Chain A
Amino acid sequence: MPFTQAQALEAFRRMMRIRKFEEEGMRLFIAGRIPGAYHASIGEEATIVGACMALRVDDAMTGTHRSHGHPIGKGADLKALMAELMGKRTGICKGRGGSMHLADNSVGIIGESAIVGGGIPLATGVGLSAKVRGTDQVCLCFFGDGAVNQGTFHESLNMASLWKLPVIYLCENNGYAITTSVAISHAQPEIAKRASGYGMPGVAVDGQDVRAVFEASSTAVARARRGEGPTLIECKTYRFEEHEVGLVVPGQPYRTTEEVDFQRQNRDPVVLFRAALLSEGTKAAELEAIEREVATAVADAIAFGEESALPDPETLYDYMYSRPVLYPRKAGRASAAREG
């Protein structure tokens, strides 16, 4: 299932949206206009977008602490995402999630788990729900190479395969769990091979090639919709930035400057896809128009975030419970949770 030309341009647009959103976000973070920690998706755009493009709007998704790319890849509006990073009341999570939890349910995301591996059972549960409700909805589950070593990976893949649940387990293998490489933490470094232990297909693809990711994901989605069960896809990708912006890594570097430079120069998914599109006859003007549109959308998102108000501390208890609950008793009297 190769991309149509329209899909290819949409994939390029979403990859550019992630890249520009992250470049501007990092700048704002360093300038102190975004609080907390910033985990950029730069370098992993093809993996994210290739997988998301295989989904329908009503399909579900779970993500990770590196959570900015996932909603953008699934088609989310940028304004509420940027406002959330800034901790504003107009943020997608009303200022209660932030950088590691940028979940946009309007595009099907049920959560971005900053507990490594924590989203894998949730995605499996969405698959179980689809089976019980008799829909052909699927769930795409993003996780990293580090999460593969969590018990939730083993337990969930076993259950999903046992019950033939419609889940696509997509590993963004960027080679490092913060500083711990796959080489020193995985007895079986070829992560796709782990699938055979659960009786499901395991596919390894070049995560910098958006078309390869899309085609593998489309095959997995079709299999899931037919009721034939889950697939494990390992996308070999790379994180161009540090684990989080500004992270100080003491002692010997865990990855060499040469390695990072090589990846940036030869394996940049946006550069590779742009070149491929041009060589196949897409007009440069068409791509430039998309780039201008993306730049405007990111600038609008920043302006929206900057202009938005901070949340009122009086609203702190909002979204705790479905109905007002007075707890703790005294504090609750003054600020009972409102309907969320």
Chain B
Amino acid sequence: MSSAVANPSHVRMSYLDAIVQAQIEELERDERVIMMGEDIAIYGSGDLVERFGAKRIWPMPISETSFTGVGIGAAIAGLRPIIDLNIASFMYLASDQIINQAAKLRFMTGGQVRVPILFRVCMYYGTSIAAQHSDRPYPMFMNVPGLKIISPTTPADVKGLLKAAVRDDDPVMLFEDMKLWTLKDEVPTDLDFLVPIGKADIKRAGRDVTIVAISGAMRPTLEAAKALEKEGISAEVIDPRTLKPLDMDPILESVGKTGRLVIVENAHRMVSASSEIAAIVCEEAFDALRKPIIRLTAPDVHVAFSPALEQALFPSAEQIAAAVKRLL
């Protein structure tokens, strides 16, 4: 899975391979870690069943509601399951167990139980598979107390955050954007390399404008930042990495410096992550803003099948650059 080793402490790999590698390392480290999901014995990568045995790797029947609950029950009873919920639009069936059980049980029992579980959810879109396979539903879950939500944008970050999530004692949802799966970069090989949950990261320093880019929107945002640089415009690009709890300090500090904010994401516009970020900036850094905030999101319309209709839905590098220029 890895290519040439440039530095023994790092290896170059794709975002998807970093996920697989993180899972294997955690399965090897702690025998309480198990994996559950549809077709994972075949598509789980890395010959998981041969390597870890049938008691650790559980291919699931198509029963999303209940196998999610089975994972939650197993987590309460001493295991640390990784639940692969596959395509995000499939997991609404599982959402009752995630919201009513996983998120609430520690609180509702007054701390008598804990729910150390990781839900992997893939946001698969932009490939003409229509609305029932193409959702990016993390904003809905941001509205649920008790969950932690991560959606990093680099191979190193996804490896470190996934490992941190497996070791966390609370339920964590990883929303992985398939637009990032093929992205390659250097990833630390240290078996205890962790990225803390709840810490944003500045992916590109700048002084003229702040761009917060979420999940798959990071790729066009970095393209836009490069193009803007050629025109002498310096954009600071921030990746929240964790959406719940949201680490606002770096964003507020950056806006304090630039006075201009563009937020980019591929979720629908209404009550999105960018809505929350914009609201907090208005509440806490209104005086620093020199121009109104711009949000670039998918509109409130379903993802269409035809490429001609689908392409127009998600913010492009050109649109991001144009938005920045409107603020200058």
Contact = CB atoms under 8 A, between A and B. Distances in A.
Contact of A121 (B72, B107, B112, B113): B72
A132 B74 contact: yes
Interface stretch (A46-54, A258-266, A323-331): A323-331
A106 to B, nearest CB: 8
A35 B206 CA distance: 56
Nearest to B105: A111
B110 A125 contact: no
B169 A125 contact: no
Contact of B73 (A129, A133, A323): A129
Interface in B58-90: 58, 60-61, 63, 65-79
Nearest to B249: A329
Contacts of A327: 244-246
Contact of A92 (B66, B106, B110, B169): B110
Given A129-B77, A133-B79, A151-B66, A105 B109 contact: yes
Contacts of A127: 73
A123 B72 CA distance: 9
A132 B66 contact: no
Interface stretch (B94-102, B181-189, B310-318): B94-102
A120 B65 CA distance: 11
A330 B105 CA distance: 25
A118 interface: yes
Contacts of B110: 91-97, 319, 340
A275 interface: no
B256 interface: no
A322 interface: yes
B78 A118 contact: no
A105 B74 CA distance: 15
Interface in B240-295: 244-246, 248, 280, 283-284
A132 B106 contact: no
Contacts of A130: 77
A62 B109 CA distance: 13
Given A93-B112, A101-B109, A111-B109, A158 B76 contact: no
Contacts of A96: 107-110
B111 A156 contact: no
Contacts of A162: 61
B108 A101 contact: yes
A54 B72 CA distance: 25
A320 B106 contact: yes
A68 B8 CA distance: 59
B307 interface: no
B62 to A, nearest CB: 9
A204 interface: no
B73 A97 contact: no
A254 interface: no
B189 to A, nearest CB: 27
A125 B111 contact: no
B56 interface: yes
Contacts of B63: 151, 155-156, 158-159
A94 B72 CA distance: 22
A193 interface: no
A139 to B, nearest CB: 8
Nearest to A103: B109
B201 interface: no
Nearest to B55: A132
Nearest to A323: B169
Contact of B66 (A93, A110, A124): A124
Given A129-B74, A330-B283, 11 more contacts: A105-B109, A110-B73, A115-B101, A121-B66, A126-B73, A128-B79, A133-B79, A139-B73, A151-B66, A323-B169, A325-B198
The 5 closest A-B pairs by CB, nearest first: A125-B73, A121-B69, A94-B110, A155-B66, A340-B111
28 contacts: A92-B112, A97-B108, A110-B113, A115-B96, A118-B101, A121-B66, A122-B70, A122-B72, A125-B72, A125-B75, A126-B73, A126-B76, A126-B77, A128-B74, A132-B74, A139-B77, A151-B65, A155-B61, A155-B65, A159-B63, A319-B109, A321-B170, A322-B114, A322-B168, A327-B246, A329-B246, A329-B248, A330-B284
